[in-house]
Structure 1
Amino acid sequence: MPRIKSPHLLVAESGADRAGHGLKRTMGLFHLICFGVGAIVGTGIFVGLSDSVGEAGPAVVVSFVLAAITCVFTAFAFAELGGAIPVSGSSYSFAYAGLGETTAFLVGWCLLLEYGVSVSAVAVGWSQYVNELLDSLIGLQLPGALSAGPGDGGVINLPAVIVIALACVLLVRGVRESARATAAMAVLKLAVLVAFCAIGFTAFKDGNLTPFSPAGLGGIGAGTTAAFFSYIGFDAITTAGEEAKNPRRHIPIAILVCIGLVTLLYCAVALAAIGAIGGDAVGGRPAALSYVVNEVTGSTAGGAVVAFGAVVAIASVVLAVMYGQTRILMSMSRDGLVPRVFEKVSPRTATPVAGTLIVGAVFALPAAFAPLDAVVNLCTIGTLATMAAVNVAVIALRRREPDLERTFRVPLYPVMPLLGVGFCLYLMYETGVTTWLQFAVFLAAGLVLYVLYGRRNSRLARGGLTPDDAAERVPQAV
């Protein structure tokens, strides 16, 4: 029998339904929506758009919609479970309640990959736009040796390290400060993207959308896989379950609002960019949005504004995703599956300071030195696997815990979660055989770690706390 932790025990252990449990409830609905936008909108649209357009051409709009549909099915699942189990562990905790400890550990292992690769990749993208901004403002760029890793012809990507360090500083100061910074950055980057659309559509030409799908259905499929990376991060909203003021009500709303808002924004930006200068000019071009504005306006001033928006946008992704990673590790640490240092909360700042600094140091290394293109597909397949697991967990918990309090229910159950699994499997298939082999090796390594450490140190196996016992626990402080 799998080791399954009941939703009631998860909530009781986290203290999610009582005050004074270490983390502070400071995030309202607006902050949660901004947090979601902050986690999603960044490198995927400012940097990755050119890759998606290179695969699908103008049909990238269809790719964005298909990627969004995949996310919507799973967003319903996250909304149901995020409202029913409002804890910091996100997919990991949902899998623990629905599918058992082994699967939960592997889901947590995949989340380390998802958040680790995405933060590092985002930080590298931030470096590109810092150079674009400096070039627009003063006509200079950082030396290549200090703005790219060895795989890209440099020595160290210093800006990538700096943005991760700045995120660490904000995160250890407190969640209120982080939430305010994320909200301000989210509003700013949305304003920049709306302004980009306004500029791009002034130069819109129907002829730039033909041929609409130069690579056919295969190009749309490949573009969908590339576009999916642009949506990674919406699940981070559920990691705020213990710091949201009304998580059972607000988390489902925030998830669904974010997916809808981001999809409309992505499609509008893609149409504006391609309609203005054509798919061939956008595809494969670094800092494509700045280039589009410069071409349309005939000046570098507009491109500088877009570059500034990208610098802010990408920094907010680093902040939001690192926040989510530290909270997932905190949940895993509570369960004994990773070292206890990650569950320690500072009584002064009410944040996991030690865990945040460790995560920052680990994420900074690949951002500074490693070429990340080779593992972006691995990150994508790992994310899709966790999303599929969450959809299955919805079905499992509906059967095992029919009376669980659910403030939101997946519509058209069980069709929606089954479609969510199907779409995830399709996009996983599109990543290719090499990525599947890498993923199999990655999962095998995670299983070895679980057997050697997690299974032996699991608190569920050693003690079997009841919800009443867990409610008496006082979180460790540093």
Structure 2
Amino acid sequence: MAPTAPPTAAARPGSLRSQLTRRKPVEMLLADAGAGDGGHLRRTLGMGHLTMISIGATLGTGIFVVLGEAVPVAGPAVVLSFVVAGVIALLSALSYAELAGMIPAAGSSYSYSYATLGELAAWVCGWCLVLEYGVSVAAVAVGWGQYVNELLDATVGVTIPDAWSQPPGAGGHVNLPALVVVVLATLVLLRGVTESARVNTAMVVVKILALLLFCAVAFTAFRAGNLTPLFPLGLAGMSSGAATLFFSYIGFDAASTAGEEARNPQRDLPRAIMLSLGIVTVLYCLVALAAVGAMPWRRFEGTEAALARIVDQAGGGSVVVGLLSLGAVVAIASVVLTVLYGQIRILFAMSRDGLVPPLFSRVDRRTGVPRANTLVVGLFVSALAAVVPLGELANATSIGTLFAFALVNVAVVILRRTRPELPRAFRVPLAPLVPVLGAALCCYAMLSLGASTWIVFLGWMALGLCLYAGYGRRHSRLGRPAAAPVPPQ
């Protein structure tokens, strides 16, 4: 009899390949959502809170500064550019909605990747989310100081000196406003998730009212002639504007990080994700229409504070400009709060799986908050925002986000094939076409980013792989004898 060839489809138990591809069963993810070695998070958030978390993380600096960049590229067709960018974001949002309702875990796309692609892919996804959430919080906080100066100048005629509003290397000693806003957000998060959600809801209402105020003033100066020709730079200009504007939609996935704190996650998470994206898209298109109708598109060139300039030219006066600046300050503070919240929950899930130290998954019994996790992340991000010129590291947040989005789309396709019996409160229509298209568009957007951004991203990934090899792989919960991982496929 001829000798039987050794199997090659599956990795040997205990081999490096089996460790890197071991998957965490969906049932284990769901069981972990209700218990843990360091305690569990409390389910206190309703659909309204979840929707406001996503809006708070999405609706921020983008709409207040992005028109100055997108209108010169697209012309009046920037309104359609917002629609196209929203459709691209929608493809990934549909996948998030399906998985968030099916796997309501704090880890968001990190947990989805763990269940479908294996531990190494999950670590890479989680490390991308650390870049997306943690570094972007610092970058947004740096921009907050600039808007604070604009508000102070418009109201009391004074500004914070560069020495105390710029980091070393950018003409200052420390960025004090950036430090302050992160510390304040950390203190709010320490009080509890319900209190944090209420504060975020109030801030979201303020920034929506500020944008509606802008629209009311801008439409008084609306001229239909400013919209013709609609495509002065052709369809290519409209498409280029959509690529620029896509990053204004990043943040809608924040609600998925609250999966373990939602009262009815299977029902509310998909609805919150889709509703928040719809509200943000409508607001973006309304503001863009009012802006290009009130001011000829060629005059947007080199204008960062486009909304304030339009209000001033429309006769809104210093009071309206001051209110708009206040809305921008509140908008950015809301982004800092909600994105910092998401960062803490991602590390919480990774810590519970043993990939990062257990300190990050200990929950305070009184507040139901991972207190040590919140303090460590808050202190680290505040220091980063105060003294480090972020530069290309901040730009790399976009590529990390797109990579995580692509993995979520792939996870939908895999789970449809491997676990079709799992209950799904929401199903992506036209699957697998829609998730595959969503993943392809994310990859295309990644390839359109500059070489310097890719260099920083690859350096960040190399650092993450070193940390995984030195700590995560050895301490993984699935590597313990008591765990029963699903064999890699």
**Bigger mean CA offset, 202-211 vs 228-237:** 202-211
Quick one: structure 1 residues 229 and 432, their matched pair in 2 at CA, closer, same or farther if it must change by over 3 Å?
A: same
Letter in 1 for 2:294: A
Task: Specify whether residues 436 and 364 from structure 1 end up closer, same or farther in structure 2 by C-alpha distance, changes over 3 A only.
Answer: same
Q: Percent identity, aligned pairs only?
A: 53
User: Aligned-pair distance for 1:54?
Assistant: 4.3
Which one is further off, 325-334 or 364-373? 364-373
Give the 3-state SS of the residue equivalent to 1:161 in structure 2. Answer: helix
Query: What's the TM-score, normalizing by structure 1?
Result: 0.92
Matched, 1:10 2:29: yes
1:363 aligns with 2:385: no
Q: Which residue does the alignment assign to 1:345?
A: 363
What is the root-mean-square deviation in Å for CA atoms of aligned residues? 2.0
Alpha-carbon distance in structure 1 between the residues aligned to 2:121 and 2:103: 17
Partner of 1:401: 419
Corresponding position of 1:278? 296
In structure 2, do the counterparts of structure 1 residues 422 and 448 end up closer, same or farther at CA, with 3 Å as the change threshold? same
User: Residues 124 and 68 of structure 1: is their aligned pair in 2 closer, same or farther, counting only changes over 3 Å?
Assistant: same
Q: Residue in 2 aligned with 1:315?
A: 333
Determine if contact 1:57/1:283 at 8 Å carries over to the other structure.
no
Per-residue CA deviations over 1:4-34 (Å, capped at 9, x if unaligned) read 0011101102217x9x953211111111111
**Pick from 374, 377, 380: which aligns with 2:392?**
374
Pick closer, same or farther for the CA change 1:28–1:426 going to 2, 3 Å: same
Larger radius of gyration: 2
Contact map agreement 2:168 2:174 (CA 8 A) in 1: yes
Partner amino acid for 2:172? G
Q: How does 1:183-262 map to 2 (within 5 A)?
A: 183-210=201-228, 212-213=230-231, 216=234, 219-262=237-280
Matching of residue 181 in structure 1 with residue 191 in structure 2: no
Code of the aligned partner of 2:176? L
Deviates more, 1:161-170 or 1:203-212: 203-212
- The aligned counterpart of 2:64 is 46
CA separation in 1, counterparts of 2:150 and 2:61? 14
* Aligned residue number for residue 447 of structure 2: 429
Secondary structure at the counterpart of residue 100 of structure 2: helix
Structure 2 unaligned regions, length at least 5 = 1-17
The CA deviation string for residues 168-197 of structure 1, in whole angstroms up to 9 with x for no partner, is 000011011001111111112111111211
Q: Distance in 1 between matches of 2:478 and 2:425?
A: 27
CA distance in 1, matches of 2:65, 2:169: 18
1:63 and 2:81 aligned: yes
- Going from structure 1 to structure 2, the CA distance change for 1:363 and 1:209 (only over 3 Å counts) comes to farther
For residues 318 and 200 of structure 2, what CA distance do their matches in structure 1 show? 28
Residues 273 and 282 of structure 1 are in contact (CA less than 8 Å); yes or no, is this contact kept in structure 2?
no
Listed one character per residue, the Cα deviations across residues 116-172 of structure 1 (whole Å, up to 9, x for unaligned) are: 232112112211211111111111111122122234433322111111000000001
Aligned partners of 2:329, 2:456: CA distance in 1, in Å?
32
Distance (Å, rounded) in 1 between the aligned partners of 2:32 and 2:325: 44
1:383 counterpart (376, 401, 405): 401
Task: Classify the secondary structure of the residue corresponding to 2:314.
Answer: helix
Equivalent residue for 2:47? Answer: 29
Match of 1:141 in 2: 159
Q: AA paired with 2:401?
A: T
For 1:258-297, what per-residue CA distance to the aligned partner results, in whole angstroms no more than 9, with x for missing partners?
1111011111112212221233433432333222212212
Name the residue aligned to 1:73: 91
SS at match of 2:423: coil
For residue 324 of structure 1, the aligned residue among 342, 345, 348 is: 342
Q: Distance in 1 between matches of 2:453 and 2:246?
A: 15
Mean Cα displacement is larger for which, 112-121 or 312-321?
Answer: 112-121
Aligned in 2, Cα 1:447/1:400: closer, same or farther, shift over 3 Å? Answer: same
Paired residue type of 1:12: A
Mean Cα displacement is larger for which, 46-55 or 261-270? 46-55
Give the secondary-structure state (helix, strand or coil) at the position aligned to 1:286. Answer: coil
Deviates more, 1:445-454 or 1:304-313: 445-454
Which has the larger displacement, 212-221 or 350-359?
Answer: 212-221
1:390-433: CA deviation from partner (whole Å, max 9, x where unpaired): 00001111111111121111111111101101111121122133
| 1:186-224 Cα distance to aligned partner (Å, 9 max, x none) | 112111111211111111123433564555555444433
Structure 1 63/362 Cα, relative in aligned 2: closer, same or farther at 3 Å?
A: farther
* CA distance, structure 2, for counterparts of residue 440 and residue 32 of structure 1: 33
Aligned partner of 2:4 in structure 1 is none
SS at match of 1:150: coil
- The count of residues paired between Structure 1 and Structure 2 equals 465
How many Å separate the matches in 1 of 2:280 and 2:435? 21
